């Protein structure tokens, strides 16, 4: 047998190429019903679903590998899985000239500078901005964070 990917000579019973790792299956499994089909088939002989193109990876159905007790727990607490919506405030900040300085320093050294000084400055500036726009709840939380 010859590997169709790298043309390496392989034993006839090989399922994968020992040189490039390519699967040497002569049949493709239907992603919908699991029936094996000949490699040249484009649609499943069992259910008519399109078969994945050769080389495409198929995600296994979670029901095949999830323990039954865990699946039941997941299905009974569906609300917990869906999560909740929250309104959040996000502040993006840039330090003027920071990229020029960052290019001159080791990444760990730059992270240390920004982690220590940058956090303090960003919190103070955010506090000032929130106070200016009247977002007192946010400003109060930031004031507690700065003093911590």
Look at residue 55 in the predicted model and tell me its pLDDT: 47
CB atoms within 10 A of CB 142: 22
pLDDT in tens, 117-136: 767 777 777 777 777 777 77
What is the tens place of the pLDDT at every residue in 6-63? 888 888 878 788 888 877 766 788 888 988 887 778 889 999 988 876 444 567 777 7
Domain spans of the chain, in order of start: 1-79, 98-147
Name the H helices within the chain.
68-76, 78-82, 98-104, 107-113, 119-133, 136-147
Q: Is 129 helix (H, G, I), strand (E, B) or coil?
A: helix
pTM: 0.25
The pLDDT of residue 96 is above 80: no
Greater model confidence, 145 or 16: 16
- The C-alpha angle 85, 90, 92, rounded to 5 degrees, equals 155
């Amino acid at each position: 047998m010859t590997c169709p990917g790298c043309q390496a000579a392989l034993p006839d019973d090989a399922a994968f190429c020992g040189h490039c790792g390519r699967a040497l299956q002569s049949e493709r499994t239907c992603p919908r019903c699991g029936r094996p089909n000949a490699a040249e088939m484009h649609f499943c002989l069992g259910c008519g679903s399109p078969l994945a193109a050769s080389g495409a990876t198929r995600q296994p159905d979670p029901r095949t590998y999830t323990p039954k007790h865990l699946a039941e727990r997941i299905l009974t607490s569906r609300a917990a899985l869906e999560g909740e919506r929250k309104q959040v405030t996000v502040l993006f900040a840039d330090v003027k000239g920071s990229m020029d300085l960052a290019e001159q320093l080791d990444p760990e050294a730059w992270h240390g500078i920004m982690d220590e000084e940058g956090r303090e400055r960003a919190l103070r500036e955010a506090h000032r901005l929130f106070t200016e726009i009247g977002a007192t709840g946010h400003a109060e939380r930031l004031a507690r964070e700065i003093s911590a």
